[in-house]
A and B are shown apart, each in its own frame.
Chain A
Amino acid sequence: MERKIRVLVAKPGLDGHDRGAKVVARALRDAGMEVIYTGLHQTAEMIVDAAVQEDVDVVGLSLLSGAHMTLFVDVARLLKDKDMGDVLVVGGGIIPDQDIPKLKKEGIKGIFGPGTPCDEIVDFIKKNVKR
């Protein structure tokens, strides 16, 4: 039995735009991964709690409301606190180029803006997942 990559797709904060998160979730499933979608209105605590229980390899954050600098960073830091620092954190949505370096420094390894083909996300995850 081969190992499956387990991914948590999460929507932090109040942003209700879930079209992208749902499309990515399906694309990851089609690529052979086990995907858990959290639904809307998740706090960083809720996301990390779910990540711990599901022992995911990847946390994917989707945000289009502009609150990524606060919320993505919250999640990345909390994951480290809970000894989940080796989880691959990626994000997507509306994220200005100028914010990307700061996010990467905080541990969000991949940022996928508008127009990113799903395959690119799949490949990135397969290449960068740790365990």
Chain B
Amino acid sequence: MFDKKELEKIKQDRKNWEKNCYSSHKERHTERKKKFHNLSWNEIKHLYGPEDIGHLDFLKDIGFPGHYPFLRGVHPTMYRGRLWTYRLFSGFGSAEETNQRYKYLLDHGETGLSVAFDYPTLYGYDTDHPMSRGEFGKCGVAVSSLQDMEILFKGIPIDKVTTSMTINGPAAIVWGFYIANAENRGIDRRIIGGTIQNDILKEYIAQKSFIFPPEPSMRLIVDTFEFGSKEIPRWNTISISGYHIREAGSTAVQELAFTVGDGLEYVRWALKRGLKIDDFAPRLSFFFNAHNDFFEEIAKYRAARRIWAKELKKLGARKPRSMLMRFHTQTAGCSLTAQQPEINITRVALQGLAAVLGGTQSLHTNSMDEALALPSEKAARIALRTQQIIAEESGVTNTVDPLGGSYYIEWLTDKMEDETYQYWDRVEKLGGVIPSIEKGFYQREIAEASYRYQKEIDDKKRTIVGVNDYVMDEPVDIPILEMDEKGEERQIKRLNKLRKNRNNQKVERNLTRLRKGAEGDENLMPFILDCVHSYATLGETCQVLRDVFGEYEEPAIY
């Protein structure tokens, strides 16, 4: 990237500086640590310079935003043209309560919706299923039928605002609820926009809310790709996620490698089905974590974009829109503390800033009470304001990819890309993504990393402010979210009434047809939509699929 002779001169001068200036200074003033590492345990040098990135070719490796390989951003104008979407992940209790929270957030400037479901819903169980005991509404909103979806979005302009739904095992069914609700409200399915997470590979690896085994799960996912590209063109049918992998304890490099690797696996399966890459790839989206090491996170996002563009090109993509990686980011929940929770606001601000400097399309900032309970109204509002401050007051949105060309950032981006390919080699040798999952490769890497990280904290080799240093014995004094105690009872009453009043013959018929479809190889979305429209519940619909596909047992790795 630099003139060869110039680079030589710089290298020489650098050597002199090291010898005469840096080393002697270090002797008199020792550095705070013997070695400095980032969160992937890569050693970070005291100084990066042109000689560290001399091997890069500006046009080929760095280039321009909105242009292959999209390192500097997926759009030419990025935030000058349009800010990222303020999209706060939320949901709790019953649909009524969550509907209120959505309206609150939209009133306060949120620009996109994001639904958190409770555990029974995530596992495809109705609220009154025995396994749902004690879990109703505790970590998200309960949605057991189309009726709940109707209540959830009552009075919300879903033709104008997009909705992301964090749902995986039963994603196709819950997507069905959303589509059916929109249609019932007279909204054309061709204009509704949003995302379903629908990323089962990372469930096996990290989040663990899987239901069915890999093969039928992948079949369902490709069904959604196919259906989406034909019928719901503005919908992202998958959000290939690294967030949860990171939360489970992986390093930044692992997050990058495993996530983008999963993405390519989905592409391969879709191609195997016979779908054309330029038909479905534009609607694949990603979801990353924004953790503590500021520059590592920024390098990670940039490396992700470049790797994805290169790989999709190799797989035959021709449309630029197929090769550009759009992603949502969430700041790291696992980095927030129960101790002195107010300081989490600061952590989130830094993490959110990293995501913006990394070029995210959409952002969730965590609330300060993350380690204590679901977000209170006030805490969620502060999280939203944090994004608004970054956007309006910090000036970082004035130019595209402001850190491009930084010696440190470009070096680190390149290094993370390298290490990603090294991980992919290991996965190849084990037989590919799904065999590696079944052999427990990813899970083992994650368990090792999380144990190592915890040991560093316990041994005080790594400081967590307020937890193992700067500790205070102060009672926590922030409002904790209280939920409506009558919510569960209300929900169960509603479900029972629904089951009585609907046309049960129709439901039976549709469920039977779904079963036949699942046993064959037709696209299941139309069958699912029929079940949904006739008010079959989530649990009933999911049970049919459980019967046909079976349930997944994970290999025990720790």
Contacts and interface: CB of A to CB of B under 8 A. Distances in A.
Interface stretch (A10-18, A54-62, A76-84): A10-18
Contact of B372 (A94, A118, A119): A94
The number of chain A residues touching the other chain, given as a range, is 35 or more
Nearest to A69: B134
B123 interface: yes
Contacts of A2: none
A1 to B, nearest CB: 26
Contacts of A27: 454, 458
Interface residues of B, number: 43
A65 B248 CA distance: 15
A13 B139 CA distance: 13
Given A15-B119, A117-B468, A39 B556 contact: yes
B458 A118 contact: yes
A97 B372 CA distance: 8
A43 B130 CA distance: 10
Q: Which of A16, A26, A98, A113 is packed against the most chain B CB atoms within 10 Å? A: A16
A128 interface: no
A39 B247 CA distance: 18
Nearest to B446: A19
Interface in B57-84: none
A115 B462 CA distance: 13
A70 B454 contact: no
Contacts of A18: 208, 248, 558
Contacts of B556: 37, 39
Given A14-B131, A115-B464, A65 B209 contact: no
A19 B464 contact: no
Contacts of A94: 371-373
Nearest to B122: A14
Contacts of B475: 97
B337 A114 contact: yes
Contact of A37 (B138, B371, B558): B558
Contacts of A114: 337-338, 371
Contacts of B248: 17-19
Contacts of B120: 14
A28 B372 CA distance: 25
Contacts of A71: 133-134
Interface string A85-100: 0000000001011100
A80 B30 CA distance: 59
Contacts of A74: 134
A94 to B, nearest CB: 7
A40 B134 contact: no
B242 interface: no
A9 B209 CA distance: 20
Given A26-B558, A67-B135, A96 B480 contact: yes
B451 interface: yes
Contacts of B21: none
Given A18-B208, A37-B558, A23 B451 contact: yes
B481 to A, nearest CB: 10
B512 interface: no
A47 interface: no
A67 B138 contact: yes
A64 B140 CA distance: 12
A41 B139 CA distance: 16
Contacts of A39: 554, 556
Contact of B134 (A17, A70, A118): A70
A33 B339 CA distance: 29
A117 B457 contact: yes
Interface of A: 13-19, 22-23, 25-27, 37, 39-41, 43, 64-67, 69-71, 74, 94, 96-98, 113-115, 117-119
Given A40-B208, A96-B372, A118-B458, 4 more contacts: A13-B133, A18-B558, A23-B450, A66-B374
In the A-B complex, the 5 residue pairs with the smallest Cβ-Cβ separation, listed nearest first, are A70-B134, A16-B208, A66-B138, A14-B119, A67-B134
